[in-house]
Structure 1
Amino acid sequence: MFVLELTYTAPLDAVDAVLEAHVAWLDEQYEKGRFLASGRKNPRDGGVILAVAEDRARIEEIAASDPFVAAGVCAYRITDFTATKTAPELERYRETLA
């Protein structure tokens, strides 16, 4: 599982100019089963996405395809973690330590 932390690198008006495309991209990732949760940070200086993928290389490809990245309005920080405990609704994503 991965935590994707977005940090805006441009003023909010530049972020908002790409927001519609970003939301469409988010919807596509949810439809493909890659994203589990997402939202804005408070204060609004970026966002957070909880994601699943085969490996880090794949999640880096996914993050690079975000319209925010193409527009140069955000940077990603990706954290890989092993979800050994989850809420019942996320049980299928639970992992065991090797």
Structure 2
Amino acid sequence: MFVVSLTYKVPQDIVDYHRAAHMAWVKEAFDAGVFLASGRRVPAVGGVLLSSVDRATLDASLARDPFFSNGVAEFEIIEFKATSVAKGFENLLEA
């Protein structure tokens, strides 16, 4: 499983300019099964994505994000193995 932390590298007006295209990409990635969850960081300095696909699939998807291709955000990818989860989230456990 992967946590992807996005941190904006540009002023907010440039982030806002690219936001609609980024959100369209997020929707496409959810539809393709790439992400399990996403949201803005608090304070709003970037975002967070949660994914359980393989690394190659994740990297290919992230490369298509307008925030990446336009230099809006830097991405930190953290891999982890979920070994304990709350009731109802058993699907996040790795086999």
Give the Cα–Cα distance (whole angstroms) in 1 for the partners of residues 85 and 65 of structure 2: 27
Give the Cα–Cα distance (whole angstroms) in 1 for the partners of residues 77 and 47 of structure 2: 12
Deviation at residue 42 of structure 1 after TM alignment: 1.1
* Other structure's SS at 2:82 match: coil
Q: For residue 22 of structure 2, what is the amino acid of its counterpart?
A: H
Provide structure 1 residue ranges, at least 5 long, that are not aligned to the other structure: none
How many positions carry a matched residue from both structures? 95
| 2:69 is the counterpart of 1:70 | yes
Deviation at residue 43 of structure 1 after TM alignment: 1.1
CA RMSD of aligned residues (A): 1.3
- TM-score normalised by structure 1 residue count: 0.88
Provide structure 2 residue ranges, at least 5 long, that are not aligned to the other structure: none
* Other structure's SS at 2:89 match: helix
Identical amino acids, percent of aligned pairs: 44
Deviation at residue 87 of structure 1 after TM alignment: 3.2
Deviation at residue 9 of structure 1 after TM alignment: 0.5
- TM-score normalised by structure 2 residue count: 0.90
Deviation at residue 57 of structure 1 after TM alignment: 2.9
